[in-house]
Chain A
Amino acid sequence: MRSEPNHMRRFVALWLLANAIMLPIVIFVLAPGMPPGNGTEQAAGQVVDNTVLLALSTPVALGVLLFLGYTIWAFRERNLDGPVLDGPAVTGNSSVQMWWLITTTALVLFLAGFGSVRLLEDGSGGGQGPSPLVVPSGKALQVQVIGQQWQFTYRYPAYGLETNSLVLPPDTLVEFHVTSLDVIHSFWAYQLGVKADANPGVDNIAYVETRGPLSFEVRCAELCGVWHGYMYNPGKVASSKAAFASWIQSQQQKYSAASKVLPPYSHTYFPGPNGRSG
């Protein structure tokens, strides 16, 4: 039998080389384009998370793929018509198992710890229910998001305004109160990095800290009936606080008649007038 090369050493060298090539590409080329962009503090925070996850999963994926590729290349039976020959009767190796367990456990615990720290930092834009655990510091602008089949309505209690378009001031902490009048919807403002389910009878709170001006898209992300696919509207972060104030003023004028007959502001509006859903 001719002398075998050291397969494990070759594989490790190959893996290191692949990482040296791929990791810079992943971190510097792919990661900046990760969703949902850097439009707000929370969205930018998610980009950081996605970058870390991508950078950590690259060596794992490369390791498995190269291992599969290398074994197929190096240990493949090339003569399938010849006699059926067996490989070595190795049934396990406790030190390999131990190191595998240690490595994967460390990776998993790091990921869970990292994710928790990131989540507790600024809430990450997710819905936190009626009593949020993570409240970013600062004075918050309350905006209520009311889902119903099949549109979102927005209430600004500080201005006594109800409207169906969403405009936010720049550089401000916004406190979304998401609720529903009928079935479960989900308020997803992609570029803001916000997603919170709208449940009937529940006040689901999500925070976002806006940065500069931004156009964003609001879509319903929970199947809510026939016209679920049509439940979307554009929104924007205004170019300045003055622009936001003048938008509020114009909306107040536009809806001055309607706002007199609106039901009073409340965190939930359920049960509805006829006492039942839908």
Chain B
Amino acid sequence: MTATANRVPAQSPARQRGLLGFNMLTGIILGVVGWWVFYLLGGLIQGYTNHGFSQTGQNDVQIMLGYLGGVIGFLGGLGFLNYPIQRMMGYPPNIPDHEVEEPGLGKYFRLTTDHKVVSQQYFVGIAFFFFVGGLNAMLIRTELLSPTTHVFGAQQYLTLVGVHGSMMMGMMTSGVLGPFANWLVPLMIGSRRMAFPRMESLTFWLLMAAGVVLITTVFFGGFQTGWTGYEPLANQGTAGYDAYLGFFGLVSISMTLLGLNLAVTIATMRAPGMTWSRLPIFCWSVVATAALMVLAAPMLTATLLMGISDRTLYTAFFDPGLGGSAYLWQNLFWVFGHPEVYVLAIPGFGIVLEILPVFARKPLWGYKIAVSGMLGVAIFSFFVWQHHLFVSGMNADLRPFYMLSTEIISLPTGFTFLAFMATLWRGRIRLTVPMLFCLGWAFNFLFGGISGVFNSDTPSDVTTHGSFFVMAHFHYTIMGGLLFSVMAAMYYWGPKMFGYKLNERLGKIHFWVMFLAFNSTFGPLFAVGFLGMPRRVVTYATNLTGLNDWVSVSAYVLGLSLLLFLFNMVYSWMYKRIPAEDNPWHSRSIEFQLPTPVPAQDFDEIPVFSGDPYPYGEALAPAGAEPATAGAY
């Protein structure tokens, strides 16, 4: 904390007030300018070297450069270049000691160093792209209402599948760390800011740029490879595939920086007394996830650069016809891809274990085993990736090893379940809406995990690999796991973050509709896969029509349940606005001891932590008594 004390106090925001300062509008304008400048430049380059490597007749050099220029222009317009340029010109560093209250909506459309504002930007941005991805899912299910094509053509259908997958697997990796960790981690560890506040903002705007890049794929004919982007099929792709490469490239950079920032923040910015063994379990899940992001996402960056260079610089990493290997992409992609799916699971573990003690009114049971479970999952996730390639013919003799390593990963996952179940035992369980979602998480993740055992067993996987069974499996873990825990977090921390109460009755209706519709959507898909339907097909056997129609209708209800949540947010915000109390859940964690809304500088003075993170239980506090400040203070 003393490190920032001698810096200049709060920076005056007046310089950025105007519409034509450095904000989103300027960013978009300069982004479009940057696109065209680099696009035309790319045309000149390609004009000299027109070997026509791309089999599509489209100029990939031009388009990739266009994306690069667009992103640079966008970030420059937002003001990300100001600080480096100022420093290069000899100005002193001007990081504010703490944030100042800034009225108005302008701060949401700018580079900001307030971690709470960045988190709210993440909320809206992620929600928007989640909506786009979800809409794609609805359209996919519409097409699958009948066994033949009837709404979309095969090409459109594959683009829908690819955009849905990329959006969900790419952007939603930041779905917890972006909105929740950015908000919670500094508060939980008693810091007033992140370690790298500008980088925090950069991760958000990079992610938004990535989302836009992915959507531009529809202007270039879409892409037909799904989110895995397998080569050499990708080499046949039109420029729509360039959008995929640009999208995941930006996402991977954003992920790396987000993970790095959070890991460094937790490692270095903890307040006095916040030892590692007092770290809230949510922060531990962020540590594990951040480690995965920092170690795995650069792998994706490298893979995509190789893919980009295959399409623009005439290399042939992945083209077997020119001496490359079709296996190489699969290997590189899944070395990133398997840790990545745990990036989508571990934050959920952290959320439910953080919320559970509050509503079971007990300390977290087995804190150490819960922590080791998360770290164990993170470590093991680097050693399982070839279970995606059991029937590919590559390294087939290693299949027993990957079977073992994959099944071992269920041990640390089991620790999370042990902590979850034992915390509930003999508690005084309060079935509030967040608690319902936590229980929903346990139910769904249980089936996600058990179905994973079938996939990890190589003989069984011969049939389930590449079928709807796998698809149902990872929707149970990611949507049933992560999304349910995110909803728990929304109902739990949402009032604190946004300053108003969410309607409890609507929340309960939302939970039950979502829980039943989710299981009614993805449960039958296990059967569909077992009956032999491969993934990503636009046609299927006619005897599966009944099951598919059932699934589609359930999927619509599932979509509606999310709209119900949106309705609850808007209704509670605009029509029935009740300001949230400071501590509606009688929680004893530090963020609930702060006033609502949390002031810009977070703490008047840096807290000193002296106790256990979960001081619940009869032995520690008299029943019914609520300490004036956190037990943690």
Instruction: Give the B-binding residues of A (Cβ under 8 A).
Output: 7, 34-36, 42, 45-46, 49-50, 53, 57, 60-61, 64-65, 67-68, 71-72, 75-77, 80, 83-93, 96-97, 100-101, 104-105, 108, 111-112, 114-116, 118-120, 124-130, 132-133, 178, 182-184, 186, 188, 190, 193-197, 199-202, 204-206, 217, 219-230, 270-272, 275-278
**Chain B nearest CB, measured from A214 CB (Å):** 14
- In the bound complex, what is the Cα–Cα distance between A83 and B334 (angstroms)? 51
Find out whether the CB atom of A227 lies under 8 angstroms from the CB atom of B624.
no
Find out whether the CB atom of B457 lies under 8 angstroms from the CB atom of A115.
yes
- In the bound complex, what is the Cα–Cα distance between A116 and B406 (angstroms)? 13
Find out whether the CB atom of B462 lies under 8 angstroms from the CB atom of A46.
yes
- In the bound complex, what is the Cα–Cα distance between A178 and B418 (angstroms)? 45
Interface string of B214-248 (1 = CB under 8 A from A): 00000000001110101011011000000000000
What are 25 A-B interface contacts by the 8 Å CB criterion? A7-B425, A35-B532, A42-B462, A49-B460, A61-B447, A71-B424, A75-B427, A85-B623, A87-B361, A87-B362, A90-B617, A100-B415, A111-B407, A111-B457, A115-B407, A119-B458, A126-B390, A130-B393, A184-B330, A199-B327, A204-B393, A221-B465, A223-B228, A229-B540, A277-B236
Given A87-B617, A184-B326, is A277 in contact with B450 using a C-beta cutoff of 8 Å? no
Chain A residues with CB under 8 A of B407:
108, 111-112, 115
Find out whether the CB atom of A35 lies under 8 angstroms from the CB atom of B362.
no
Find out whether the CB atom of A46 lies under 8 angstroms from the CB atom of B618.
no
Find out whether the CB atom of A272 lies under 8 angstroms from the CB atom of B400.
no
Find out whether the CB atom of B431 lies under 8 angstroms from the CB atom of A76.
yes
Query: Which of these, A97, A115, A119, A128, contacts B393 with CB under 8 Å?
Result: A128
Query: Which of these, A88, A96, A120, A217, contacts B362 with CB under 8 Å?
Result: A88
Query: Which of these, A36, A132, A188, contacts B466 with CB under 8 Å?
Result: A188
Find out whether the CB atom of A46 lies under 8 angstroms from the CB atom of B460.
yes
Query: Which of these, B360, B390, B410, B458, contacts A108 with CB under 8 Å?
Result: B410
Chain B residues with CB under 8 A of A120:
400
- In the bound complex, what is the Cα–Cα distance between A120 and B364 (angstroms)? 44
Chain B residues with CB under 8 A of A87:
360-362, 426-428, 616-618
Find out whether the CB atom of A68 lies under 8 angstroms from the CB atom of B439.
yes
Find out whether the CB atom of A84 lies under 8 angstroms from the CB atom of B626.
yes
**Chain A nearest CB, measured from B472 CB (Å):** 14
- In the bound complex, what is the Cα–Cα distance between A183 and B393 (angstroms)? 15
- Tell me the residues in window 369-416 of chain B with beta carbons closer than 8 Å to chain A beta carbons: 369, 389-397, 399-400, 403-404, 407-408, 410-411, 414-415
Find out whether the CB atom of B321 lies under 8 angstroms from the CB atom of A270.
yes
Interface of A is mostly: mixed
Tell me if B4 is interfacial: C-beta within 8 Å of chain A. Answer: no
Find out whether the CB atom of B320 lies under 8 angstroms from the CB atom of A220.
no
- In the bound complex, what is the Cα–Cα distance between A54 and B362 (angstroms)? 34
Chain B residues with CB under 8 A of A75:
360, 424-429
Tell me if B367 is interfacial: C-beta within 8 Å of chain A. Answer: yes
- Tell me the residues in window 440-490 of chain B with beta carbons closer than 8 Å to chain A beta carbons: 442-443, 446-447, 450, 453-454, 456-463, 465-467
Interface string of B157-184 (1 = CB under 8 A from A): 1100000000000000000000000000
Chain A residues with CB under 8 A of B616:
86-87, 89
Interface size class of B (residues with CB under 8 A): 35 or more
**Chain A nearest CB, measured from B225 CB (Å):** 6
Find out whether the CB atom of A223 lies under 8 angstroms from the CB atom of B462.
no
**Chain B nearest CB, measured from A122 CB (Å):** 9
Find out whether the CB atom of A272 lies under 8 angstroms from the CB atom of B321.
yes
Query: Which of these, B410, B460, B620, contacts A50 with CB under 8 Å?
Result: B460
Chain B residues with CB under 8 A of A36:
463, 532
Find out whether the CB atom of B230 lies under 8 angstroms from the CB atom of A223.
yes
Find out whether the CB atom of A91 lies under 8 angstroms from the CB atom of B364.
yes
Find out whether the CB atom of A89 lies under 8 angstroms from the CB atom of B618.
yes
Tell me if B342 is interfacial: C-beta within 8 Å of chain A. Answer: no
Chain B residues with CB under 8 A of A80:
430-432
Chain B residues with CB under 8 A of A84:
361, 430, 586, 624, 626
Query: Which of these, A88, A206, A229, A277, contacts B537 with CB under 8 Å?
Result: A229
- In the bound complex, what is the Cα–Cα distance between A278 and B241 (angstroms)? 16
Find out whether the CB atom of A199 lies under 8 angstroms from the CB atom of B623.
no
**Chain B nearest CB, measured from A102 CB (Å):** 11
When A and B form their complex, which 10 residue pairs have the shortest distance between CB atoms, in order from nearest? Answer: A89-B617, A204-B393, A276-B321, A124-B459, A229-B537, A83-B624, A229-B538, A221-B466, A129-B393, A116-B400
- In the bound complex, what is the Cα–Cα distance between A217 and B400 (angstroms)? 28
Interface string of B272-312 (1 = CB under 8 A from A): 00000000000000000000000000000000000000000
Find out whether the CB atom of B425 lies under 8 angstroms from the CB atom of A183.
no
Find out whether the CB atom of B362 lies under 8 angstroms from the CB atom of A201.
no
Chain B residues with CB under 8 A of A196:
391, 393
Beyond contacts A115-B456, A229-B537: 8 other A-B pairs, Cβ-Cβ < 8 A, are A91-B365, A92-B422, A115-B459, A201-B320, A217-B541, A229-B538, A276-B322, A277-B236
Chain B residues with CB under 8 A of A83:
623-624
Find out whether the CB atom of A68 lies under 8 angstroms from the CB atom of B442.
yes
**Chain A nearest CB, measured from B456 CB (Å):** 8
Given A57-B450, A126-B458, is A64 in contact with B421 using a C-beta cutoff of 8 Å? yes
**Chain A nearest CB, measured from B311 CB (Å):** 13
- In the bound complex, what is the Cα–Cα distance between A190 and B447 (angstroms)? 24
- In the bound complex, what is the Cα–Cα distance between A45 and B232 (angstroms)? 34
Chain B residues with CB under 8 A of A190:
463, 532
Find out whether the CB atom of B363 lies under 8 angstroms from the CB atom of A76.
no
Find out whether the CB atom of B454 lies under 8 angstroms from the CB atom of A85.
no
Chain B residues with CB under 8 A of A50:
454, 460
- In the bound complex, what is the Cα–Cα distance between A194 and B225 (angstroms)? 24
Chain B residues with CB under 8 A of A114:
457
Find out whether the CB atom of A67 lies under 8 angstroms from the CB atom of B459.
no
- In the bound complex, what is the Cα–Cα distance between A127 and B391 (angstroms)? 5
Given A75-B425, A201-B320, is A119 in contact with B443 using a C-beta cutoff of 8 Å? no
Chain A residues with CB under 8 A of B447:
61
- In the bound complex, what is the Cα–Cα distance between A124 and B626 (angstroms)? 61
Chain B residues with CB under 8 A of A224:
233
Residue of B nearest to A117 (CB): B400
Chain A residues with CB under 8 A of B363:
89-91
Tell me if B155 is interfacial: C-beta within 8 Å of chain A. Answer: yes
Chain A residues with CB under 8 A of B264:
none
Given A87-B428, A90-B365, A111-B407, is A222 in contact with B230 using a C-beta cutoff of 8 Å? yes
Tell me if B534 is interfacial: C-beta within 8 Å of chain A. Answer: yes
- In the bound complex, what is the Cα–Cα distance between A85 and B425 (angstroms)? 15
Tell me if B530 is interfacial: C-beta within 8 Å of chain A. Answer: yes
Chain B residues with CB under 8 A of A204:
392-393
- In the bound complex, what is the Cα–Cα distance between A125 and B586 (angstroms)? 57
Tell me if B154 is interfacial: C-beta within 8 Å of chain A. Answer: yes
Tell me if B535 is interfacial: C-beta within 8 Å of chain A. Answer: yes
Interface string of B575-613 (1 = CB under 8 A from A): 000000000001000000000000000000000000010
Chain B residues with CB under 8 A of A226:
154-155, 158, 224
Query: Which of these, A72, A89, A271, contacts B620 with CB under 8 Å?
Result: A89
**Chain B nearest CB, measured from A134 CB (Å):** 9
Tell me if B366 is interfacial: C-beta within 8 Å of chain A. Answer: yes
- In the bound complex, what is the Cα–Cα distance between A199 and B393 (angstroms)? 8
Query: Which of these, B235, B236, B367, B623, contacts A92 with CB under 8 Å?
Result: B367
